Structure 1
Amino acid sequence: MTSHLSGPVTAPGGRRPRLPGPRTPREVATALDSFRDSVAAGMSHLHHTYGPVAALGIGPLRWTFLFGTDANELVLGNTENFEFSYGGLQAIAGDTALVALPNAENRTMRQLLRPLFDREHVDAYADRVLDRVRDRLAAWPQNTTVDAYTELRLAVRLASVDSFIGPGVLNREGNTLDTTLEQLHTVLNRSSILTLLVWNAPRLGRLRLRKPLSRIDRVVHAEITRRRAGATPTPDPIDPIGFLLRPGIYPELPAGDHTVRDTVVSLLIASYDPTSSALGWSLYGLLANPEVLAEAKREVARELGDEPVRAATARRLKYLGHVVAEAIRVHPPVVASARHCVKGFEVHGHRIPAGSRLMLSQFTSHRSPDSWPDPERFDPDRWDRTGTATAAVPPAAYFPYGSPRRRCPGSGMAAVIVPAVLAAVLQAGDITLADDHPPRLDGFAALRPKAGLPVRVHQPH
């Protein structure tokens, strides 16, 4: 295929130009250092230094980075030529997980799993998260500093295990399962050029993660056995394992119990990691902007009063929804979208050969002055749909959970959970940032504050 993007496709003399990117040892070292800071910083460095197209690495480490809404539209709009490619997630989730399936099979599986993402299931999951969050908030001592990001992340992770593997699993496994999940995400999220290699080579990723993966597999397959034996009652609303074991569903799975396992693990990944990221950055956006915090408090008091927030009532909190939308614009949970091109194509005057690994950047797209007025300013009002701001934003300029056709399956859950948890935090008492400096960025699969989010706990309400 050939793109419609402008630019010469040959250099003088008929030769095709080399792709821009670091050439000298010093340039390569600078680029690698920027990725060690964070993947977001690495992509920003390549964009600012080399323009809309930049190549980095050699052999299995080679990636071509494309920046800008034109390239986003080209790649995200052509699923036939640009296959979804998230080897790092595939290493953990498995070959029949949603993140690993080719586009056509992915669409079929998403259709099969659609009932798990209806309002009843989303609200049940959100309410489990809220219960865990309130347990954590109640344990925060006054006049001390706590890491709000780590605390909220723990609450989401525990609720995810309850919801996606089954009730009672945490009681049987103790802290082992929780520790194992964090080990997996630590490797997956490490800001390093080596992470790109893992994302290109799922087998290498599985080799590095074989011990924690074996523990996860043991737990999930044991729960499948318990369900079949009737040892664990299937909760209501039905959870993924109970749903997938239904007689009308199980025969449709491509690999039986392996698909049950892969689906459960992929849902765990898709739920707590991006949701935790959105929670952390949304809370930071609130606390770092006093006028935004004041308006959010007024909305919670007006809409909820003394009523503890639940998933159903959180949908009233429109302004908090705008806060979340703005927070994940500035700090998108998914900072990069990976693709594999089936056929060669041309973009911005450069020929990209078939088989190339591509990276699009939500982080740079969401901060581009070409699409966003005053992009560095935190402004929830730009999402007020009674105005005109959102209508002016090209769809390819904002995709915090991935492209519409391969969007993270946890995105709909996060849209309910994050405003609800923010409301629960506001209802619990007053907290302030313990550090005036903006958090350093970290993470590959999900953007996170490198040193957490330290907050000072004040008088409860």
Structure 2
Amino acid sequence: MASAQAARTGTSGGGRRGTEIPRLEGAPLLGSLADLKSDALGTYQRARHLHGDVVRITAGPPGLRTELHCVFSAEGAQQVLASQAANFRKDNALYQEVRVALGNGLLTSQDEDYLRQRRLVQPLFTKRRVDGYAEAVATETASALDAWDATPDGVVDVAQEMTALALRAVSRILFGADVDATADVVDRCFPVITAYAMRRGYSPVNLPRTWPTPGNKRAAASMDELYAVCDGIIAERRRITGAGEGDGQDLLSLLATASSADDGEFDATELRDQVLIFLLAGHETTATSLAFSLHLLARHPDLQDRARAEIAAVLGDRTPGAADLDRLPYLSQVLKEAMRLYPAAPVLGRRSVAAAEVDGHTIPAGADVIVAPWVTHRHPAYWPDPERFDPDRFTPEAEAARPRYAWLPFGGGPRACIGQHFSMLESVIALAMLLRAYEFEAVDTEISVVAGITLLTTGPARCRIRRLRA
């Protein structure tokens, strides 16, 4: 009861050490299974509102029941993801399914595999290296604007458009001239593969993947097609690199030649695993941030005008570059506030190795643990009037006054997203070019979303666009 009262008043929901973790009441037979399937994000929100910052949610029939230990406070998130990260591993069922579908890349690998991969990849994601990708982002954004100009003053679905833009941008950065050979395949195959992994990851019982069910066959066909395209490009890139041809500056070429005396280099399968993870994380996360930034600004024309005024003052008519990231602080605040309300990774799963104290409660060994940025980003202890869109929450002074893990769209701790700077760079450049060229007015005032591997829209996110400049 004390925990629920604290949650309602916006104070910490942590309990006293050793207190029992409260449980969200569910149906007698299936627990909260139906609620989680129909509205997982809303169920997590309700759990925090009713019971505080550490809550148990049970789902499934007796004998096949899963118990989730959900952690909603910034302090608890920091303990799970950072200070006690070694005790909370990516061993749950969903990560096992993602490993099968997309390989053992940076998102899914663990222990020495992960450390070796991170050491090999890290030099490719330094600020200086990432800043070099700005031109590719600007090129793809200009192409998207050219396509919009064919139907000026029309209506666009910003979720679909930003997914296409982000996919082409990351494909260009990864594959260089091979962007057209990959973007269409990824766009067609990824949704099938990720939806399949999600279904299996959250199902209490799964049929063997080798059984010829329609779902298994669709997923296998999509994986085969996606793998074949990636393997073909990787083989050709290694041939070109070995022959001394090409400039070798696309990310795939750099990955193919990454090596160290201690860690060796990536073999062909490891390269494909990294490419698949970069394609997934590199386009879906940025697309989410861009789409919701545009839609939120479309619903708040005064803030859209403020952002556009900053863009005009800083850029004029020139193409934005990496150096402009720090020169457009309000645009960065807009993006951060959009990522607060619509984090691309709304739910993060872990499994505990040993019993551990988290936010004053004992989480047992072997527990499935949920950290939910979607809920933490709406926690009234850190975010007054949390559903309101207010980019001024991210002034330097406001950020310094909040706990570090009150905002965690890129995760945190040793497994924090390696592409944080790239995501912000890509988003600021694209958003600046889009807002300078077009005015946005929301057609759909609300957008429905669900938690997949990343945050997914389930309906249209349409905006009416009006051309502002030639």
Please classify the TM superposition score into its range, dividing by the shorter chain length. Answer: 0.7 to 0.9
- Tell me if structure 1 keeps the 8 A contact 2:330–2:391: yes
Which residue is equivalent to 1:262?
273
Distance (whole Å) between structure 1 residues aligned to residue 340 and residue 304 of structure 2: 18
Equivalent residues in 2 for 1:103-122 (5 A)?
103-122=111-130
Which residue is equivalent to 2:286?
275
Change in Cα spacing, 1:271 to 1:166, as seen in structure 2 (3 Å) is same
- Say whether 1:394 aligns with 2:403: yes
Equivalent residues in 2 for 1:338-377 (5 A)?
338-347=349-358, 351-377=362-388
Deviations 1:284-338 (A, max 9, x none): 2222222211110110110011113234434421110011111111211111111
- Say whether 1:81 aligns with 2:87: yes
Which residue is equivalent to 1:412?
421
Change in Cα spacing, 1:401 to 1:200, as seen in structure 2 (3 Å) is farther
Choose the corresponding residue for 1:20, options 23, 42, 46. Answer: 23
Flag structure 2 segments of 5+ consecutive residues without an equivalent: 1-13
- Tell me if structure 2 keeps the 8 A contact 1:133–1:152: no
Change in Cα spacing, 1:206 to 1:167, as seen in structure 2 (3 Å) is farther
- Say whether 1:179 aligns with 2:188: yes
Letter aligned with residue 123 of structure 2: P
- Tell me if structure 2 keeps the 8 A contact 1:91–1:203: no
Distance (whole Å) between structure 2 residues aligned to residue 82 and residue 371 of structure 1: 25
Distance (whole Å) between structure 1 residues aligned to residue 245 and residue 177 of structure 2: 8
- Tell me if structure 2 keeps the 8 A contact 1:227–1:234: no
Change in Cα spacing, 1:54 to 1:66, as seen in structure 2 (3 Å) is same
- Tell me if structure 2 keeps the 8 A contact 1:132–1:158: yes
Distance (whole Å) between structure 2 residues aligned to residue 152 and residue 18 of structure 1: 41
Would you say how many aligned residue pairs link Structure 1 and Structure 2?
442
Choose the corresponding residue for 1:94, options 103, 108, 115. Answer: 103
Mean CA deviation greater in 153-162 or 437-446: 437-446
- Say whether 1:429 aligns with 2:432: no
Letter aligned with residue 354 of structure 1: A
Distance (whole Å) between structure 2 residues aligned to residue 254 and residue 410 of structure 1: 20
Please report how far the alpha carbon of residue 279 of structure 1 lies from its aligned counterpart in structure 2 after TM superposition. Answer: 0.9
Change in Cα spacing, 1:177 to 1:93, as seen in structure 2 (3 Å) is closer
Change in Cα spacing, 1:378 to 1:103, as seen in structure 2 (3 Å) is farther
Which residue is equivalent to 2:55?
53
Distance (whole Å) between structure 1 residues aligned to residue 204 and residue 432 of structure 2: 38
Deviations 1:351-381 (A, max 9, x none): 4331111111111111111112332222212
Equivalent residues in 2 for 1:199-348 (5 A)?
209-230=219-240, 236=247, 238-246=249-257, 248-249=259-260, 252=263, 256-347=267-358
Distance (whole Å) between structure 2 residues aligned to residue 151 and residue 117 of structure 1: 26
Which residue is equivalent to 1:13?
none
Which residue is equivalent to 1:69?
74
Secondary structure at the aligned position of 2:133 is classed as helix
TM-score (normalised: structure 1): 0.85
Secondary structure at the aligned position of 2:370 is classed as strand
Letter aligned with residue 366 of structure 1: H
Change in Cα spacing, 1:247 to 1:201, as seen in structure 2 (3 Å) is farther
Which residue is equivalent to 1:14?
none
CA root-mean-square deviation: 3.3
Distance (whole Å) between structure 2 residues aligned to residue 383 and residue 273 of structure 1: 23
Which residue is equivalent to 2:159?
149
Secondary structure at the aligned position of 1:167 is classed as helix
Mean CA deviation greater in 33-42 or 302-311: 33-42
- Tell me if structure 1 keeps the 8 A contact 2:87–2:354: yes
Distance (whole Å) between structure 2 residues aligned to residue 407 and residue 392 of structure 1: 22
Distance (whole Å) between structure 1 residues aligned to residue 413 and residue 320 of structure 2: 29
Change in Cα spacing, 1:411 to 1:349, as seen in structure 2 (3 Å) is closer
TM-score (normalised: structure 2): 0.83
Please report how far the alpha carbon of residue 233 of structure 1 lies from its aligned counterpart in structure 2 after TM superposition. Answer: 7.8
- Tell me if structure 2 keeps the 8 A contact 1:125–1:159: no
Deviations 1:400-446 (A, max 9, x none): 111132112232211111111111111212221112x2211223222
Distance (whole Å) between structure 2 residues aligned to residue 201 and residue 125 of structure 1: 43
Please report how far the alpha carbon of residue 203 of structure 1 lies from its aligned counterpart in structure 2 after TM superposition. Answer: 7.5
Which residue is equivalent to 1:443?
451
Secondary structure at the aligned position of 1:340 is classed as strand
Distance (whole Å) between structure 1 residues aligned to residue 340 and residue 369 of structure 2: 22
Distance (whole Å) between structure 1 residues aligned to residue 90 and residue 419 of structure 2: 17
Distance (whole Å) between structure 1 residues aligned to residue 452 and residue 264 of structure 2: 30
Deviations 1:22-69 (A, max 9, x none): 3434883xx444434443223213323444212222547443222222
Deviations 1:375-405 (A, max 9, x none): 22222122111xx321121112111111132
- Tell me if structure 1 keeps the 8 A contact 2:90–2:110: yes
Letter aligned with residue 440 of structure 1: S
State the 4+ residue runs in structure 1 displaced beyond 6 angstroms. 198-208, 231-234
- Tell me if structure 2 keeps the 8 A contact 1:19–1:350: no
Mean CA deviation greater in 317-326 or 376-385: 376-385
Distance (whole Å) between structure 2 residues aligned to residue 8 and residue 342 of structure 1: 19
Distance (whole Å) between structure 2 residues aligned to residue 416 and residue 308 of structure 1: 13
Mean CA deviation greater in 55-64 or 426-435: 55-64
Change in Cα spacing, 1:154 to 1:438, as seen in structure 2 (3 Å) is same
Secondary structure at the aligned position of 1:146 is classed as strand
Distance (whole Å) between structure 1 residues aligned to residue 129 and residue 359 of structure 2: 44
Distance (whole Å) between structure 1 residues aligned to residue 207 and residue 359 of structure 2: 28
Secondary structure at the aligned position of 1:374 is classed as coil
- Determine what percentage of the aligned residue pairs are the same residue: 26
Mean CA deviation greater in 120-129 or 422-431: 120-129
Distance (whole Å) between structure 2 residues aligned to residue 398 and residue 313 of structure 1: 23
